A and B are shown apart, each in its own frame.
Chain A
Amino acid sequence: MSLFFVGIGVLLVGGLLSAAAGRNGPWSGRLGALGAVVGCGLALAPAVGVLGTGVALESRLPWPMPGGSFRVEIDALSAFFLLPILALSALAAVYGTGYLRPAPRPPGAHWLYYNALVAGMALTVAARNGILFLIAWETMTLASFFLVTYDHQKESVREAGWIYMVATHLGTAFLLALFLLLQKSSGSLDFDRLEPGTHAGLLFVLAVLGFGTKAGFLPLHVWLPEAHPAAPSHVSALMSGVMIKTGIYGLVRILTLLGPPPLWWGWLLVGIGATSGILGVLFALAQHDLKRLLAYHSVENIGIIALGLGLGVLGVASGSHTLAVLGFAGGLLHVANHAAFKGLLFLGAGAVLHATGAREIDHLGGLQKKMPWTAGCFLVGAAAISGLPPLNGFVSEFLIYLGAFRAVSGLGTGVAVPAIAVIGSLALIGGLAAACFSKAYGMVFLGEARSGHAEHAHDPGGAMVAPMLVLAAACAAIGLAGPWVVRAIGPAIAALAGPGDLPETGLLGRVSLGAGAFLALAALLAFLRSRLLAGRRVGAAATWGCGYAAPSPRMQYTASSYAQPLTDLLRLFLRTRKHLRQPGGYFPGPSSLETETPDVCRDRIFEPVFRGFGWVLARLNWLQVGQVHLYVLYIALTLLALLIWRLH
């Protein structure tokens, strides 16, 4: 346990030293990243130990905070979440040293907040007291706010940071209510003494709202597509890969505290998962900005996780251990998997941005030949996030599917109906995600360069490539070693699904067998083809233009045109705006077509509400007079009123 605290300490000291190094840019960067890597490595050791032995580590420090106590514990569930958090943080830190290299200013402040964010996340999943939890939670939120606004000179970045700040504090408000209610019913905020009392359902809904805002459940996701693209890419990777998972952690932790769940919690989670998953991938499909596209995919993957957790809850509620294990195993494993491939994809997108300066997919193209390492890693991530075998995305989706099919084939209607919803929405999500990532990878890396941006690109340095390679290897390894991975995280699954063995997860061995057969066959065929072609004429020519003799790269299909049939088909949900300037007359002038797909939830739900608030507050504007002594009077009057109310 002390290793964990030492790790946190090293993180914070590294951050402070980096900030103190001030104007000395290179040293500042090195110190910060070193602190992050060493700190994460140290804190990782106890987490791995807990998952290996299954024995929880616990410690309690004196803390003069009313209602609070400094109780920290690493049990299997915490350890499972710590693993991706710390591993991805270390890798992203290494990447960050390369990414921030041509920095406009010393990176000291950045590293201070980065390390604070990592420490906050680690403490969030280890805290065992409501107040400590909320403090760690707010540390995480504030640190990430400053990271998002790293490029604060840009207007758009400031706006994104503002949206993030407001959204995440709305979520925290629900959490505050949740913990207050819990304290009222149990008299303490220590997790092991929490009693849900009579209104467990209300508490669950509050947890879904509060933690769902951080996790990005639709329609609470509005901050995600703004904040993630605004941040530097390694921070995006960290936020999208693991920070939003602290929301999932909070949800499952509360689930363990609220006692046996009723069936409708499962229905609720499945409903949320289906909406977030399907709409998330739809919005992603309509985006032109690579990082924004990836941010929407986080919403989709959170939806998949919610589908898995929902099935697990249904399993517990209906007394089916198999379903509970399959659902929770799929959901939890997808947490780790998403950390791996989404981290990888954001790092890849960062490398592209670093090399070309463009995030607009329609400006890129042909990077496969210029950035082979980045392209290869991105391809692995793209295939993994589309849930394709033999990579890790398929393993977790397979578990969720299997649970759903088990429920459909053998359980009552109350469980079978949501299970059908899970099957249908997962299938639709899978197909749309494949469409979206064939677009992202195909348009950015394949074909020919569409603009000058992409022409002089090259692979970034080793500090940026190595983390991507590690993550790509992790994707492949989890994909091929499914059964062992599930057994390794068994204690975390048991914490949610109840004690017992892990039925059916051994079937992943068969999946690995199939994947192995596939790879062997592919190698065989590749060899066959090279033997066939040996000694024959293998020519190179221009792409067949169907008779047109002078094709240019500008004639290639663009990302927008690629996605257009699907976005048109589903325009009911997307509300894509088109600005068309048609050519007209005998000598047509310039013409153009622009499309943009703003977030429907933001436009239709939040903007009207906030405009309403703005209107109400504008009516109260007379209170703001700009004179300090009047403000002091307000405060004094409020205090007096509170005192009278209390004494009354």
Chain B
Amino acid sequence: MEAPRLAQPVLAILFAPLLLGVVNRVKAWVGGRRGPPVLQAYWDLAKLLRKGAVYSRSTTWIFRAGPIVGVCAALVATALLPVGDTPALMGFPGDLILLAYVFGLARFFTVLAALDTGSSFEGMGASREVQFSALAEPALLLALAAVARNTGSTSLTGMMQGISVHAWTTAGPALALVSAALLLVFLAENARIPVDDPATHLELTMIHEVMVLDHGGPDFAFVLYGAALKLWVLGALLVGIAVPVRSGDPWIDAAGFAAGMLALAVVVGAVESSMARLKLLRVPQLLAGAAALSALALILVLR
């Protein structure tokens, strides 16, 4: 196995928290503040890993398994994603299904860990999480089906290799629709505005944050790191399709990829600065819209 294949996992493991830092920095900049350092997420993780833990008396081993499953699922997912033309570490035809479903596994356990505490707030967050993710899943897989049709491949590696500037000039509208759908899924799955507000401090309005209220110490570090990895992986998927830098030279590809990730972080920051969170009742419509965009892209590529 040649070294470039390790690129995606290594990049994700090292730089995933950085992405959060950039997003927050952009938000602060747009809001006219200085904001936390770009490396703040790393300091938070280090601090949490040094702490002890407090567990609720209501909880069982499920509660402790939740954060671990979250991190491991995201780590497995990084092994399925390529960087530009470089094949993924573990890519195979159909790997996109595994990608979608390991995140499903992580969500299942996060939700169960939330229910394990017996807190009504966490139950509420869990209820919202399963509702929105059930609607985001078809949008994600249909969008990838459109890419599969366009590139004639069923592995993420093959799809990313099939997308190029040329593909964008011939099937631009379809790929733009796919990118839009994936952006919506990305925002929803990572609990960002306009679906969920990561900076909120009112339990009644939260989705993801409220599910992890009871985690502390190393467990919470795992939760944060797992969330950062998930942000990275879904972001990398979007960037791989929306930024068609395929030169054949792994360094240039990686640079294009990095620039794309940075741009995505800036876009997320800008969206969060300029939009309000949607009413919870409107979120399903947003996600159904994402699925409709994917379906539209499929109609375009099917002819």
Q: B97 within 8 Å of A by Cβ?
A: yes
Question: What is the size, in residues, of chain A's interface with B at 8 Å between Cβ atoms?
Answer: 82
| A569 pairs with B54, CB closer than 8 A | no
Report chain A residues within 8 Å CB of B255.
none
Contacts of B52 in A (CB 8 A): 533, 536-539
List, in ascending order, chain A residues with CB within 8 A of B217's CB.
533, 536
Q: For the complex, would chain A's binding face be called helix, strand, loop or mixed by DSSP majority? A: helix
Q: B62 at the A/B interface (Cβ < 8 Å)?
A: yes
Residue pair B127, A420 in contact (C-beta under 8 Å): no
What is the CB-to-nearest-CB distance from B113 to chain A, in angstroms, rounded to a whole number? 9
The reply to whether B62 and A401 contact each other, CB–CB distance below 8 Å, is no
CA distance A511 to B105 in the complex (A): 14
**Is residue A435 within 8 Å, beta carbon to beta carbon, of the partner chain?**
yes
Q: Which B residues are CB-close (under 8 A) to A408? A: 145, 148-149, 298
Taking the complex as formed, is A135 at the interface, i.e. its CB lies under 8 A from any CB of chain B? no
CB-contact partner of A565 in B118, B128, B141, under 8 A: B128
Q: When the two chains form their complex, are residues A442 and B112 in contact, meaning their CB atoms are under 8 A apart?
A: yes
| Nearest CB on A from B117, distance (A) | 5
Which secondary structure dominates chain B's binding surface?
helix
Q: How far is the CB of A53 from chain B (nearest CB, A)?
A: 31
Question: Which residue on chain B has the smallest CB distance to residue A369?
Answer: B60
Do B138 and A431 touch across chains, with their CB atoms under 8 A apart? yes
User: Could you give, for residues 471-496 of chain A, a 1 whenever the CB lies within 8 Å of some chain B CB and a 0 otherwise?
Assistant: 00000000000000000000000000
- Which of A369, A428, A434 is most buried by chain B, counting CB atoms within 10 A of its CB? A434
Closest B residue, CB atoms, query A508 = B94
CA distance A379 to B61 in the complex (A): 12
Expressed in whole angstroms, the Cα–Cα distance for A565 and B100 within the complex equals 23
- Could you tell me if A427 and B140 are in contact, using CB atoms closer than 8 angstroms? yes
> Within 8 Å of chain A (Cβ to Cβ): is B53?
yes
Asked if A628 is at the interface of the complex by the 8 Å CB criterion, the answer is no
Residue A510 CB within 8 A of the other chain: yes
B126 at the binding interface (Cβ < 8 Å):
yes
Q: Inside 8 A of B140's CB, which chain A residues have their CB?
A: 427
Query: Of B56, B65, B92, B131, which one neighbours A569 at CB under 8 angstroms?
Result: B131
A438 near B130 with CB under 8 A, answer yes
CB of A286 to closest CB in B, whole Å: 13
- Which candidate, A383-391, A592-600, A612-620, is the interface stretch facing chain B? A383-391
- Report the minimal beta-carbon distance from B264 to chain A, rounded to whole angstroms: 24
Contact of B123 among A417, A514, A517, A562 (CB under 8 A): A562
* In the bound complex, CA of A451 to CA of B98 (Å): 40
**Contacting residue for B127 out of A369, A402, A409, A564, CB 8 A:** A564
By a CB distance below 8 angstroms, the chain A residues around B49 are 532
> Across the interface, do A539 and B101 meet the contact criterion of CB distance under 8 Å?
no
CA distance A438 to B111 in the complex (A): 7
| A195 is an interface residue with CB less than 8 A from chain B | no
Identify which of residues 120-172 in chain B touch chain A, using a CB-to-CB cut-off of 8 Å: 120-124, 126-128, 130-131, 133-138, 140-142, 145, 148-149, 151-154
With A427-B140, A435-B131, A557-B120 already in contact, the answer to whether A442 and B148 are too (CB < 8 A) is no
Q: Which of B68, B94, B280 contacts A525 (CB 8 A)?
A: B68
Q: Which B positions have Cβ atoms within 8 angstroms of A? A: 49, 51-60, 62, 64-65, 68-69, 71-73, 75-76, 79-80, 90, 92-98, 100-102, 104-105, 107-108, 111-112, 115-124, 126-128, 130-131, 133-138, 140-142, 145, 148-149, 151-154, 203, 213-214, 217-219, 222, 280, 284, 291, 295, 298, 302
For the complex with contacts A434-B104, A533-B52, 5 further pairs of A-B residues with Cβ separation under 8 Å are A366-B58, A424-B141, A431-B133, A447-B58, A517-B79
Leading 9 A-B pairs by shortest Cβ distance: A557-B123, A431-B134, A442-B115, A447-B118, A435-B130, A536-B52, A537-B52, A510-B92, A427-B138
Please name 14 pairs of A and B residues whose Cβ atoms are closer than 8 Å in the assembled complex, sorted by A.
A388-B108, A404-B145, A428-B137, A430-B104, A431-B130, A447-B123, A504-B93, A507-B93, A513-B90, A518-B73, A536-B217, A543-B57, A555-B120, A557-B127
